[in-house]
Amino acid sequence: MKYIYKERLRAGTVELMNYIQSEGIELWIYTTSFRSERYIRGLFRCYGIKPDQVVNGQRHADEVQKDHAEGMPSKYPSKYRIDLHIDDDISVAQNGRTYGFRVFTVGEQDDEWAEKIKAEIAKIRNRNEKQ
C-alpha cells in the first residue's frame, strides 16, 4: 500500500481522527486535490480511518463554485455545515474570516496541535449546548 499512497499524515493525525469519531463527531476530509474520492478514502483506510464524507476539488467545483460567476473560496465548509475546519493554509483561515466559517490553522512546528484541536472541539460543544 505504501507504494500506491505516497502521502504521509502529520504525526498525531490518526489518534486525533480516532478521537473525533469516538466522540460521535462526523469526520470529513475536505481537500482542494482533484484525486478521486476512492483514492482519498483508500489513503485514509490505510491508516485505519473511515471518513464520513470526502469533498475533493471536483465535488467542490460541482457543489460550491457551480453557478457562481464570482470566484468562491478554495474551501467553503459552511456549505456542508462543518462546524470546524482544520487546515495548514493561512489563506483558508483568511477566507474563513471573510465568508464566515470557523478554521483552526495548524502551524508547521506545533507538537500540541492535536490537543489544541480537542480543546476547540470542547469549546464548540459547550457553545452548542448553551444554545
Mean pLDDT by 10 residues, the chain (131 residues): 80 97 97 97 96 98 91 95 95 96 91 95 89 78
> Which residues 6+ apart lie within 8 Å of 58 measured at CB?
34
What H or E segment, with its residue span, contains residue 120?
helix 113-130
The domain locations on the chain are 13-130
pTM to 2 decimal places: 0.90
- Phi first, then psi, for residue 60 (nearest 5°) are -60, -45
Are the CB atoms for 10 and 111 separated by under 8 Å? no
Q: CATH classification of 13-130, choosing from 3.20.20.70, 3.40.640.10, 1.20.120.80, 3.40.50.1000?
A: 3.40.50.1000
